Structure formats: C-alpha cells, structure tokens
Amino acid sequence: MHLTNAIIHPEKFPARDLYPFNLEVFHQTPSIAFHSPVTFFMGENGTGKTTLMDAIAEKCRIYSWQGLDKIRYNRSPYEKDFHRFISIQWANGSVPGSFFSSQVFRNFANLLDEWATSDPKILDYFGGKSLRSQSHGQSLMSFFRSRFNIKGLYLLDEPETALSPKSQLELLKIVKDTAGQGHAQFIIATHSPILLACPHAEIYDFDSAPITTIAYEDTDYYRIYKKFMENPAEFV
C-alpha cells in the first residue's frame, strides 16, 4: 500500500451552493481510507467520483495530461480547486503515479508518436508499434501492461470506456495480477460490473452520503446486470 487515506475538509469549502461543494457526500464523509491495493469508486455520473480522483491526483502531484478543457457554461470557479480542500496520507512516503482516462490516452498516444520520430525505440515499450496503429482494445492493453510494471499509484477514470467485455476481462486480470505483485496501487472509477469483480478489492459507493464501502453483490451494477441476464424480456 502506498496511499492510505484521503481526508476531506468541508469546513474549508469556499461555497456551499456550487459544484462540487454542494455534494452532500463531501460534507458527510470525513475521509476515504485505502485498505486494499485495488479500490473502486462507483456511483452515477455527477456524484463526485472523478472530482475526488482528480483532487487526489493533484495532491499526489500526478500530472493528468487532460489537455484543454471543453467550454462549459455556468461552471463553478472553484471546480478545479477541490484538491485544496483535501489532504492525503502515505504509508511510507510518496510514490510516482499516473492518471488514465480516454482523453488522457488519446493525448498520450499522439505525443508518443511525436517522440518516436526522434527515438523509434520508445515504441518497444508498447509492443513495438504506434498505439494509434493498433485497435483501441489492443492499444490500451499495450499501454496498461507497460505502465503498470512501474512501482506507483495508478488512477483510472472509467477505463472500460469503448472496451469490449473481453477486453474488460483482460484489464481485470492485469489489475489483479499487478496488484498481487505488491508494487502497484489502483484507484479506479468505474461503472463496469466486470472490473468491480476484482478479488479482494474495496468498493466505495458515491450514490448516497456518507461515502461507504459496499459488497460487490450488493452494488446496483451487479444486481441490474444479473437480473437482466436472467430475464431480458422483463426489461424490453
């Protein structure tokens, strides 16, 4: 374990009526403890999963490669400052890490091709060819296998996006095996019941306040998918 705790300080929030400071989960949750090398954040969109993950990344000095933000009206002026209102605790000092999202991956793949024009051998770390020349699933698996060999903290924001169920199973195995080696810690925001099935993982539910852990088979994602598979006609 590297990161052991993320502490939220609602008493320091600059506003109560602006996102994300208007989310009740952040007012009623003193801290998020990390007991497992694999931790999941689950909940509907807008519940604060990515906001907290972004803040943790910023606090850990992990560059997110987000690029230019999309223009959004009525945006809170404090939305990108949530990291100022949390603190973190390490087990034995800070470690390097990385932040993954679909946008981050696109930006990284483009940069990698630019770097490879002057140093082609850099592609050897990713299967020997451009990530953009591989299928989406193949390129992601090449990226994950290469990146997760390094000791560190890995933040993944909905990595299942555009991955087939088969590729999600492959990612699940990579995460499970890597976490078992003891050098890597994962915090993953996801809607995928496949990824949530990772053995011994801790799942935090953001759908109600306070944020608490939940058993895999008690998650809405597991129950809804299970019910649908048992009787699809009930839903269509």
- Average pLDDT for 28-52: 96
125 pLDDT higher than 90 = no
* Average pLDDT over the chain, rounded to an integer: 85
Q: Are 88 and 58 in contact (CB under 8 A)?
A: no
51 falls within a domain: yes
Q: 3-class SS at 65?
A: coil
CATH number for the domain that contains residue 179: 3.40.50
- Average pLDDT for 139-164: 85
- As to burial, measured by CB atoms within 10 angstroms (0-12 exposed, 13-18 middle, 19+ buried), residue 216 is middle
**Distance between CA atoms of residues 213 and 41, nearest Å:** 9
Q: Are 102 and 161 in contact (CB under 8 A)?
A: yes
116 falls within a domain: no
Query: What pLDDT, in 10s, does the model give residues 72-99?
Result: 455 666 778 899 999 999 999 999 998 9
142 falls within a domain: no
pLDDT number for residue 71: 46
**Distance between CA atoms of residues 50 and 164, nearest Å:** 22
Report whether the peptide linkage leading into residue 96 is cis, meaning its omega lies within 30 degrees of zero: no
Going across the sheet that includes 152-157, the strands are: 97-100, 152-157, 184-189, 38-42, 202-205, 212-213
pLDDT number for residue 74: 52
129 falls within a domain: no
104 pLDDT higher than 90 = no
119 falls within a domain: no
The count of structural domains within the chain is: 1
E strand spans, 11-112: 31-33, 38-42, 86-90, 97-100
Query: What pLDDT, in 10s, does the model give residues 169-228?
Result: 999 999 999 999 999 999 999 999 999 999 999 999 999 999 999 999 999 999 999 999
Residue-range definition of the domain harbouring residue 157: 3-107+152-234
150 pLDDT higher than 80 = yes
127 falls within a domain: no
pLDDT number for residue 70: 46
84 falls within a domain: yes
Higher pLDDT, 229 or 144: 229
pTM listed for this prediction: 0.85
117 falls within a domain: no
Retrieve residue 108's tokens: 């990284």
33 pLDDT higher than 90 = yes
**3-class secondary structure for 101-150?**
CHHHHHHHHHHHHHHHCCCHHHHHHHCCCCHHHCCHHHHHHHHHHHHCCC
**Distance between CA atoms of residues 154 and 187, nearest Å:** 6
- Residue 38's pLDDT band (boundaries 50, 70, 90)? very high
Retrieve residue 80's tokens: 């990108």
Could you give the count of Cα atoms lying within 13 Å of 83 in the half-sphere of its Cβ?
12
Retrieve residue 183's tokens: 């050098």
